[in-house]
Amino acid sequence: MKNFYAKIDSYNETTYETNTLSVLLSDGTRLTLRIDEEEDICEEEVYRFETEPIEFKGRTQYLVQSFTHINDMDIGFEAKIAVMKDFYPFAPIDVAKTKETIETHLASIKDETIGKIAKALYEKHREDFYLYPAATRFHHAYIGGVAHHTATMLELAEGLLAVYAFLNRDLLVAGIILHDLFKTVELSNFYAPEYTREGRLLGHLAMGSDAVGEIAREIGLAGKEEVVLLRHMMLSHHYYGNFGSPKKPNIPEALALHFIDNIDSKFAVLGEALEETEPGEFTEPLGVLERERYYKALFDKRKKT
């Protein structure tokens, strides 16, 4: 018996009693599996297989005895992340570090109303929050992208909070943590995401605002000004109507959220483009930066000693 995790490349029907799967193993090699023709299995997804080697037309293949989707494995969150990293592009930062940044900021919220709402929604979506990308393309479009984006924004916010005393720290921190939380509902899954019906018709801004109102009612905080302010931040952080915001920011924290979001989303794309660019060359035109090309200076060749 041979047991392993694998991602499905293709599922092919045959004229025999079994169908074939082309799968990618964690070490980059590929195998052909034979599986009962009535089994329901999805391409681009990861499963744990139990197989038995068989000879077929003079070649070794593997007959699937049983299989389990990675989401149905009782292996814990950290172990699941470790498996997924072998098959999908991941955030370029350790999940534990990202989680520490986010949960430290979350715990720092002193306002009771803001803290209860932010913590309740975070706990409700916590596991998906560390798996989902921030988008299907453009910025942070990899597993863990939402959390990576959020953690970076929290670090950027510290600079604004140190300079502008009129910004309310609790409101800005909570707004950053919650602003993209409902991309976990807007997108269909974290490994091959498409926009859901709700994602297309409502979007994460509206769903996030509604969720703040709903959780406030559930825990007896409806009618509080802080609830209205958080909902405004959810709705306004894209700033422009054609990007999904029905309102422009009308409180300082919402404006700060918008600018921090915009900075990180664009610099993440720029950083990825520079990684693929040789010193002395220009990047490809970058759509999120008005198709400008950015020069990677020659002094980047210097080695650190």
Q: What pairs with residue 143 in β-bridges? A: 90
- The pLDDT, as a whole number, for residue 82 is 84
Same domain? 162 vs 219: yes
Same domain? 33 vs 98: no
Instruction: Among 21, 46, 72, give the residue marking a domain's end.
Output: 72
Q: Could you tell me the residue range of the domain that residue 249 belongs to?
A: 88-272
Same domain? 116 vs 148: yes
Residue 304 domain-assigned (yes or no) = no
The answer to whether 6 and 49 are in contact (CB under 8 A) is yes
- The pLDDT, as a whole number, for residue 139 is 72
**Residue 58: pLDDT over 70:** yes
User: Please, which pLDDT band fits residue 11 given cuts at 50, 70 and 90?
Assistant: confident
Single pTM value for the model:
0.81
Same domain? 10 vs 138: no
CATH code of the domain in which 22 resides = 2.40.50.140
Tell me the DSSP string of 136-198.
Answer: SSSTT-SBTHHHHHHHHHHHHHHHHHHH-TTS-HHHHHHHHHHHTTTHHHHBS-SSS--B-HH
Instruction: Among 72, 100, 134, give the residue marking a domain's end.
Output: 72
Residue 289 domain-assigned (yes or no) = no
Q: Of 197, 203, 212, which Cα lies nearest the Cα of 245?
A: 203
**Residue 304: pLDDT over 60:** no
Please indicate whether residue 16 or residue 76 has the higher confidence score (pLDDT).
76
Please indicate whether residue 281 or residue 59 has the higher confidence score (pLDDT).
281
Tokens of 3: 């047991």
Same domain? 116 vs 226: yes
- The pLDDT, as a whole number, for residue 22 is 86
Q: Average pLDDT for residues 81-96, to the nearest whole number?
A: 82
Residue 81 domain-assigned (yes or no) = no
Same domain? 252 vs 122: yes
Q: What is the DSSP letter of 19?
A: E
Same domain? 102 vs 231: yes
Model confidence over 148-200: pLDDT tens digits? 999 999 999 999 999 999 999 999 999 999 999 999 999 988 877 888 999 99
User: Please, which pLDDT band fits residue 14 given cuts at 50, 70 and 90?
Assistant: low
User: Of the ranges 94-98, 189-193, 203-207, which is most confident?
Assistant: 203-207
* Summary mean pLDDT of the chain: 88
User: Please, which pLDDT band fits residue 37 given cuts at 50, 70 and 90?
Assistant: low
Model confidence over 116-145: pLDDT tens digits? 999 999 999 998 899 888 877 767 778 888
Same domain? 68 vs 135: no
Residue 215 domain-assigned (yes or no) = yes
Q: Count up the domains in the chain and report the number.
A: 2
User: Of the ranges 51-65, 91-105, 170-184, which is most confident?
Assistant: 170-184
- Write the CA distances from 215 to 65, 190, 224, integer angstroms: 45, 24, 12
**Residue 208: pLDDT over 80:** yes
Residue 288 domain-assigned (yes or no) = no
**Residue 305: pLDDT over 50:** no
**Residue 234: pLDDT over 90:** yes
